[in-house]
Chains A and B, each alone.
Chain A
Amino acid sequence: MTAISNNNIARAIYLAAKDKNQAEQYPIFSKVVQFLVRRRLLAKAPDILLLLDKIINNDEGRVTAKVSSAEKLDHKTKLHIEQSLQKRYSAKKIILNEIINAKLLGGFKVEIGDEVIDLTIKNKIGKLQEHLLGDETAK
């Protein structure tokens, strides 16, 4: 028998509970918990919830982006980031999770899923180092 993946479970939950009101959803969720207990998959619940979150966001056109920067970004920059991301991912809504990391030195880094747009000074210095060292070894 093929093993059921977390993704399969998350998708099944989403499809079962989609377009239903809270009262209708309650028995579904209780059945999901029963299923997880029966199949001894309760330990995987956090991963499944994470995937479920991803599926819902994807379906509703919501994109969560992690924005790391050395200092707090001003409103104008944030708006600009949101707009360009909205265009790139053809998303209805962009949710920005801001993280301040002084080690980035300057600029900002946007992470969406496994895609990264790195515009930090730290990255640029790293690339410059690569460029200079790379030339050195070729000589």
Chain B
Amino acid sequence: MSLAVSSPEKAMKANHIVENLKKEIENFRSQVKVEKVGQVLEVFDGIAKISGLSDIKSSEMVTFSNGETGVVLNLEEDTVGAIILGDFSKIKEGDEVKATGKILEVAVSNSILGRVVNAIGVPIDGKGAIKADKSYPIEKVAPGVVTRLSVSEPVATGIKVIDSIIPIGRGQRELIIGDRQTGKTALVVDSILNQKGQNMVCVYVSIGQKDSKLRKIEARLEEGGAMDYTVIVKASASEAAALSYIAPYTGVAIAEYFMDQKKDVLIIYDDLSKHAIAYREISLLLRRPPGREAYPGDVFYLHSRLLERACRRSEKYGGGSITALPIIETQAGDVTAYIPTNVISITDGQIFLETDLFYKGIRPAVNVGLSVSRVGSGAQIKAMKKVAGTLKLDLAQFRELEAFAQFGSDLDDATKSQLERGKRAVEVLKQLQYAPVRTEHQVVTLYALTKGFMDDVPVEKIKEFEQGLTEYSERQAKVFYKEIMEKKMWSDKGEEELKKVITDFKTSRATLGASS
């Protein structure tokens, strides 16, 4: 075997490497310091019991002799219990464990945008290392009441039913709750896609999801050009429970880094039910006493301290905001289970998705009656508030009348017209996946609906009408569109123009229909 360098160029290169190494070695200074060291007593299911480490603090990071890191959760009299963030199969009994004196941190920088990182912030998308700018601790006390502003700016999700009836503001925490296969993830992916050009950074935290599902989401975001302003934090179902437990905190630490640059951030936790399950697993393995549904006593605090970090900060204290959209998966529509009730009480409202609606073809399958947004209405733009004002009531009355109308056929004209309006409202609020609608278009459509311009359009033609109207009005109602974009409300002049445009559009449709 010959290792001889074949050409002078290669020899030069080798010399250069040796020189560099020499320099590095000369610069190297090792410091003498006293280290706190413990020994692994037992390892099982991602948990390590360690002896020694007398002065260690809770949540402190430790390093194992094979390079893996751990986080101390249990402090007992003679031992400490730690979760292992990584491969625990190579850690043996008797291995040395060093205390680091630091709590777990995640390396952050602007170049993290567009990347997929694991639960401790290490890139896993094969696009190389991320040059760290700063380190952010994953556990941090939420901003205090003095530093906060009330929610007043909207997050445009591009989903008509949300933007009109259950509006979300920047800095709000809005829960998305529903059974499996009701379109919870689809809703948030659409929201991310719609943030393009809205000056928003998105963090999508995937907790305990299938890798195939995440791959699909990533491809969709890439296709829609959304990865330019999005970070994906991944703790998949195949990874240890400890990583699922850490992932949302890592996500919010990344979000805080961007908030500190006065940016608005949208963070999605998909989903917190699996996060609670991962924490239950860890707690039971650490022999903490189980409570209701075998969750530990501090499962409320687990989510409240995470969601409290969503906020809108005043300019004086650095500005920026974090809007959180946690997702909870219910079992057979049971919102009274432990975790759903906890998270409902923590958040500022919920969007409730229903299987029945989904299979009826009403998608997004949002149950408007059960969904609320406690602070979002303050963030809605004036124009939207005006058109959506009566929509919720109309829909609620429609649902009541719909049930009633099934029993009898003799209905008075007012009831009939209410029913017809309701049917059209439901139709207008339906929306295809990956097709977010711009706010201006939403305003035009809802204006046409609430002012009765759609009453004579057959229900099955509503979608077609809506599409035609938005395209036509954008070309014709220039004043109205300009006012909505700039002043967020129309003037009398703009309204007159829109009315005329809608009437013209209807006439042109009628003549087209007659001629064909």
Contacts and interface: CB of A to CB of B under 8 A. Distances in A.
A138 B131 contact: yes
A117 B31 CA distance: 11
Interface residues of A, number: 19
A131 to B, nearest CB: 5
A116 B99 CA distance: 11
Contact of A119 (B32, B53, B78): B32
A2 B314 CA distance: 49
A132 to B, nearest CB: 6
Nearest to A8: B77
A131 B131 contact: no
A93 to B, nearest CB: 20
Contact of A128 (B30, B36, B78): B30
Interface string B454-485: 00000000000000000000000000000000
A116 B34 CA distance: 6
Contacts of A114: 36-38, 52-54
Interface string B17-59: 0000100110010101111111000000000000011100000
A6 B38 contact: no
Contact of B35 (A7, A118, A124, A131): A118
Contacts of A6: 78
Nearest to B67: A130
A9 B25 CA distance: 52
Contact of A7 (B21, B37, B78): B78
Contact of A5 (B32, B34, B77): B77
A116 B98 CA distance: 10
Interface in B77-136: 77-78, 129, 131-132
Contacts of A115: 34-37
A138 B21 CA distance: 16
Interface residues of B, number: 20
Contacts of A7: 77-78
Contacts of A132: 21, 24-25, 28
Nearest to A51: B78
Given A5-B77, A6-B78, A135 B34 contact: no
A124 B25 CA distance: 11
Nearest to A117: B34
Contacts of A119: 32
A111 interface: yes
Nearest to B31: A127
A137 interface: yes
Contacts of B129: 137-138
B34 A124 contact: no
B67 to A, nearest CB: 10
A113 interface: yes
Of residues B21, B38, B129, which shows the largest number of chain A Cβ atoms within 10 Å of its Cβ?
B129
A113 B28 contact: no
A127 B24 CA distance: 13
Interface string B61-77: 00000000000000001
Contacts of A5: 77-78
Contacts of A124: 30
A115 B54 CA distance: 9
Nearest to A131: B28
A131 B52 contact: no
A135 B24 contact: yes
Nearest to B25: A128
Interface in B485-504: none
Interface in A80-131: 111, 113-119, 124, 127-128, 131
Nearest to A6: B78
Contacts of B131: 138
Nearest to B35: A116
7 contacts: A5-B78, A6-B78, A114-B54, A116-B34, A118-B35, A124-B30, A128-B28
Given A132-B25, A138-B129, 14 more contacts: A5-B78, A7-B77, A113-B54, A115-B35, A115-B37, A116-B37, A117-B33, A117-B34, A124-B30, A128-B28, A128-B30, A132-B28, A135-B24, A137-B129
